């Protein structure tokens, strides 16, 4: 079993994907670490708490590992819940919060809701499975990300590759690992013409993909600080167009901290990957929402529904209304326990306003919601029960 698997999952001899505790909520003591970057102590405290909350999710549930995809999904579940913790994991008490060297250390007494985490995990799995068949022209990305070790050699970790794909699928892209590019990068990641050759290999092996995400994670340093370990990883990622010369670049040194050297490296790799994917995906998504294809107007927009107080009853109602309105659901997320967000595509309307009116007439009890001032996405449809 490789190190990544040992760090991020606890294996139980059961056949279910997630195994939940017998009690609806479980109290647990968790620890978190985060490096202080550029003197920003407040951000470090927030990151340390997020890491502790990831540990709480891992402690509350167990995973029977049957595939690398399951590992990737579980890692994404921890990512998301650590950000949206309200309703999933509650902090009962801050046992300690201190600065050791340039690392923030926190110890929290938390309570995790196994039932709500279960619902979230099921939503995520369904969302990622649905995105596997996504075929819109901006949706296909091949991925090939390797790790450069301290001895200069490069290796590929399938679990981490699937984690990258899951992160991309989460923001609306169909993502698949290109084994041929991976094999090339293992031996040629430092070549001067690596971009050109990797792109050529990707084009020769593609089906419907129109971009390649090429990346190298290089361990820059690991040091012991204040009883913990701090690792720095250089993330060099490129999103390369296969039909154009457009290249988006992410190159940054990213830190992570943990109680062991191995865990610190993995945390830094995860932090770097999250930042790279979020940055590059945002650049890729910053295109016009309306595209004319063969005389039809293709609309891509987000439908946000607030005040979803009965998920089991209201989610099917919203989903059916979108499908009846000829909307293809590219992804669905839960920004909070009472909010659902659907990123959809349709060519049955001339503009977003027509789609909005159709949904208002199709969903019982729905009305226009309030769009916050300055909210990103001017054409977002905001509804509420």
Is pTM beyond 0.75 here? no
Q: Are strands 381-384 and 296-306 parallel, antiparallel or unpaired?
A: parallel
Fold for the domain defined by 135-285:
Rossmann fold (3.40.50)
Dihedral of CA atoms 355, 360, 361, 364 in degrees, nearest 10, equals 140
CA distance readout (Å), 64 to 61, 70, 76, 125, 312: 10, 8, 16, 15, 26
Phi first, then psi: give them for residue 241, nearest 5 degrees.
Answer: -70, 135
Query: Tens digit of pLDDT for each residue in 168-203?
Result: 887 767 788 999 999 999 999 999 999 999 999 999
Q: How far apart are CA 144 and CA 215, in angstroms?
A: 6
Count of other CB atoms within 10 angstroms of residue 125: 18
Confidence of residue 26 (pLDDT cuts 50, 70, 90): low
Say which DSSP state 24 is in: S
List CB contacts of 208: < 8 A, sequence separation 6 or more.
135, 140, 174
Fold for the domain defined by 290-384:
Alpha-Beta Plaits (3.30.70)
Confidence of residue 20 (pLDDT cuts 50, 70, 90): very low
Q: Is the dihedral of CA 6, 9, 10, 12 positive or negative?
A: negative
Architecture of domain 3-129: 2-Layer Sandwich (3.30)
Q: How far apart are CA 17 and CA 57, in angstroms?
A: 15
What ranges do the domains of the chain cover?
3-129, 135-285, 290-384
Please tell me if the domain spanning 3-129 has the same topology as the one spanning 135-285: no
Confidence of residue 1 (pLDDT cuts 50, 70, 90): very low
Overall size of the chain counted in residues: 385
Say which DSSP state 329 is in: E
């Amino acid at each position: 079993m490789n190190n990544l698997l040992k760090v991020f999952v606890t294996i139980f001899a059961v056949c279910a994907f997630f195994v939940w505790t017998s009690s609806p909520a479980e109290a647990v003591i968790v620890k978190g670490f985060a490096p202080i970057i550029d003197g920003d102590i407040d951000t470090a405290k927030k990151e340390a708490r997020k890491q502790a909350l990831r540990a709480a999710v891992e402690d509350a549930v167990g995973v029977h590992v049957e595939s690398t995809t399951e590992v990737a999904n579980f890692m994404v579940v921890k990512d998301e819940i650590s950000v949206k913790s309200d309703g999933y994991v509650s902090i009962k008490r801050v046992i300690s919060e201190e600065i050791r060297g340039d690392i923030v250390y926190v110890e929290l007494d938390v309570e995790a809701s196994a039932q709500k985490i279960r619902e979230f995990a099921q939503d995520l799995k369904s969302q990622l499975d649905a995105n596997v068949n996504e075929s819109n022209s901006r949706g296909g990305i091949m991925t090939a990300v390797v790790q450069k070790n301290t001895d200069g050699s490069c290796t590929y970790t399938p679990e981490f590759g699937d984690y990258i794909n899951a992160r991309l699928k989460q923001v609306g892209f169909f993502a698949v690992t290109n084994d041929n590019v991976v094999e090339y990068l293992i031996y040629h990641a430092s070549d001067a013409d690596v971009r050109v050759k990797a792109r050529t290999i990707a084009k020769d092996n593609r089906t419907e993909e129109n971009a390649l995400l090429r990346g190298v994670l290089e361990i820059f340093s690991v040091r012991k600080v204040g009883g913990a370990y701090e690792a720095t990883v250089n993330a060099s990622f490129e999103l390369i167009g296969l039909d154009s010369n457009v290249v988006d670049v992410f190159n940054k040194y990213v830190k992570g901290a943990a109680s062991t050297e191995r865990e610190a490296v993995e945390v830094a790799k995860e932090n770097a990957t999250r930042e790279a994917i979020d940055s590059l995906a945002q650049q890729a998504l910053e295109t016009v929402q309306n595209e004319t294809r063969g005389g039809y107007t293709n609309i891509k927009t987000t439908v946000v529904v607030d005040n979803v107080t009965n998920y089991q009853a209201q989610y099917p109602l919203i989903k059916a209304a979108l499908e009846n309105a000829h909307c293809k659901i590219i992804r669905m997320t839960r920004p909070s326990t009472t909010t659902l967000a659907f990123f959809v595509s349709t060519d049955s309307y001339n503009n977003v306003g027509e789609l909005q009116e159709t949904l208002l007439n199709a969903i019982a009890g729905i009305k226009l919601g309030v769009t916050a001032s300055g909210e990103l996405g001017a054409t977002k449809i905001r509804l509420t029960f």
